[in-house]
Amino acid sequence: MPDSRVPRLRRFLVCEPRHFAVQYSINPWMHPDTPVDVDLAQDQWQELIRAYRDHGHTVETVEPVAALPDMVFAANCALVLGGRVLGSLFHAPERRAESTAYDAWFENAGYEVYRAESVCEGEGDLIPTGRFLLAGTGFRTTREAHRQAQEFFGVPVISLQLVDPRFYHLDTALFVLDDGPDGNIAYYPEAFSPGSRAVLARLYPDAVIATRDDAMAFGLNSVSDGRHVFISPRAKDLADQLARQGYVPVPVDLSEFQKAGGGIKCVTQEIRS
């Protein structure tokens, strides 16, 4: 079975955690009195970048800004689909200036950026599946932003209600394993409202279901290329499930970033041209 999984080479945009810190609290994971080891964060981030490149993926970087400690979480900056860029409007005032820095990178790279008109936190809550966009709401991105994304990309949007503040972004509770027409996902059902759980069960009857322990270990804040799954090493049960289904787990420890409520996917923006 492992040989049946075919990776698709990706292009990622990331931001070095040169100024990473927990200076405020905008989610339940963040405690400003908890010290951050910036050197360790740098080492962990570099390990992830090496892992991406070792598996053939292209990685580009945006220059970090000193006053923006969360800028490392590149996934939140935009959604790029079909070469079109929907820029973010952050919920927290502390993060809003990040959009300017990322928009400038995209514009310098030749993209036209459309800035969301309602609170929208990019790939944190908007996840392409190949057939449609899965879109989270409840804590950050608004349903109005879901409507805007559908109009902008011309892709059907499936709105999903998040109910547990520890899973404040969709990408902390769900990730796409394969993004083709017959693709699959992994997710933690208890992060969603009953109706949203029913929708996911209907759309993905063969989904990989994560345990609470694996979800709390940021195992669902993973990145898959269709074969290799870059995943938290503490999400052991989830990794075992994936291996049994023919995926190849690639453990990368980003535990320092969990102090800010982030993980592998949070620091990874995919550029889909």
What tokens does 41 get?
């964060």
Residue 45 near residue 267 (C-beta atoms within 8 A): yes
Out of 57, 91, 169, 228, which one is annotated catalytic? 169
Catalytic residue check, 266: yes
CA distance 19 to 188: 31
- With the CA atoms of 2, 188, 260 and 39 taken in that order, what torsion angle do they form, in degrees rounded to the nearest 10? -20
Catalytic residue from among 15, 77, 120, 266: 266
Q: Is 57 a catalytic residue?
A: no
Q: Which residues are catalytic?
A: 169, 266
